[in-house]
Structure 1
Amino acid sequence: MEGDAVVLAGEPVLRIRDVRKSYRRRPVLRGVSLDLHAGQLLGIVGENGAGKSTLLRILVGDLAADSGVVERVGVLGSCPQDTVLHQAFSIDQHLRFFQAAYGLDNLDRAFELLEQLRFGGYLHERVAALSGGTRQKLNLVLALMHDPKVLLLDEPYQGFDWETYLRFWDLAAALRDRGCAVLVVSHLAHDASRLDSLYRLREGVLRRTEQTGSEVVPG
């Protein structure tokens, strides 16, 4: 982890206990447990088919677990791997739609995020005209504009250039400092040192890893 160590206090804002899920008798999650506290930045890595998408769908409430407990405190923000965008609408229109959905009085936080990610100049561009990286920026802003207390990010930096990738990690650290609980899920284990803790999901089993610089040693 970079900087000072996070001091955890109180109950976790996301509590996962013995979550299990199977498809047609094929186990996908085999008793996953995890605690995520306010002001904590955690990562989960795993290969394709390891169960990452299934776990995230359960955490956001899109899929029911076969057994186990998921408890969450505070407003949830979720940035899915597949963007929730309409090709014909502009960035500004997306912001207005989500403002109404979230019941926000203004778009101050959204515009702040646009500037942080350096794409405020695209406000009136339609999604169809945007690059994949810029679409992912918008996807991230939509997940953050209502100032969630628990944030789930699925492959959040796909399509980013190097400069935007670094800005993403600056933003993630700033969210942690604001007291947000952030969970980053990816198939890559780069920059593990930016995380407070890293876990590996393999064959439906979640285990904490040991981190050495940016390298990951499977636990």
Structure 2
Amino acid sequence: MEVQGLRHAYGRRPVLNGIDLVLHSGVVAGIVGENGAGKSTLLKILCGELQPRSGFVRHLGRFGYCPQKAVLNKALTVRQHLDFFKAAYGLTDLRRAEEVMEMLNLADYADERASVLSGGTQQKLNLTLAVMHDPQLLLLDEPYQGFDWDTYQRFWDLTAQLRARGRSVLVVSHLAYDAQQLDELQRLKDGTLCAAPLVTP
């Protein structure tokens, strides 16, 4: 992914003041920032949900997006969600989805409706839907919210697997609890990105 000169404002209030970012293959990068720093605005622009005032975003290959709030149909089961996204992505099978479900301990919930899943289990499904088409680029917004410690560790195992396969992963969070898992870390402050040390606060 290549990003150049992103600027955005809400009315007269500037939020992004010239964001430049290059995310290479096989790199797990993080962006941290306080609430209100513009992280959500940046992610919406990166995934195409919002048009910037100026600048551009270029993706090479398929990309996946896991929003902070799971966007699920509470009436559908986990399996029905997978079938729906299989059709949307034009996939021939659910092999990759099933691999991720096993990795995240989600497989046992395949026939449960989303309405009865805990917040953490809903987030497991949210993540599975984002990666089941094997994207070259994965954008993650607070992806482990609601995870217990075991699932949190499994999440980073999945991320390491993606890195080893040459995928690019961008994790956006308000705190860098997991900085040791990243190859690059930047802080969003005053509408711009600056390099941050890879140390746990």
TM-score category, normalised to shorter length: over 0.9
2:101 and 2:128 in contact (8 A); partners too = yes
Q: Secondary structure at the match of 2:161?
A: helix
Choose the corresponding residue for 1:110, options 97, 102, 105.
97
Aligned partner letter, 1:74: G
> What pairs with 1:85-104 in structure 2 (closer than 5 Å)?
85-104=72-91
Query: Residues 56-113 of structure 1, C-alpha deviation per residue, up to 9 Å, x if partnerless?
Result: 1001111000011211101010001111101111000000000000000000100111
Q: Distance in 2 between matches of 1:191 and 1:81?
A: 17
Choose the corresponding residue for 1:181, options 168, 172, 176.
168
Aligned partner letter, 1:106: D
Q: Secondary structure at the match of 1:210?
A: coil
Choose the corresponding residue for 2:194, options 207, 213, 216.
207
CA RMSD across the alignment = 0.7
Report the TM-score, using the length of structure 2 for normalisation: 0.98
Residue 210 of structure 1 deviates from its aligned partner by: 1.6
Is 2:27 the partner of 1:44?
no
Say how many residue pairs are matched: 201
Choose the corresponding residue for 1:145, options 132, 140, 152.
132
2:182 and 2:198 in contact (8 A); partners too = no
> Which structure 2 segments of 5+ residues have no match?
none
Residue 193 of structure 1 deviates from its aligned partner by: 1.2
Percent identity between the two aligned chains: 58
Query: Residues 122-156 of structure 1, C-alpha deviation per residue, up to 9 Å, x if partnerless?
Result: 00000010000000000000000000001000000
Partner of 1:11: none
> Which structure 1 segments of 5+ residues have no match?
1-13
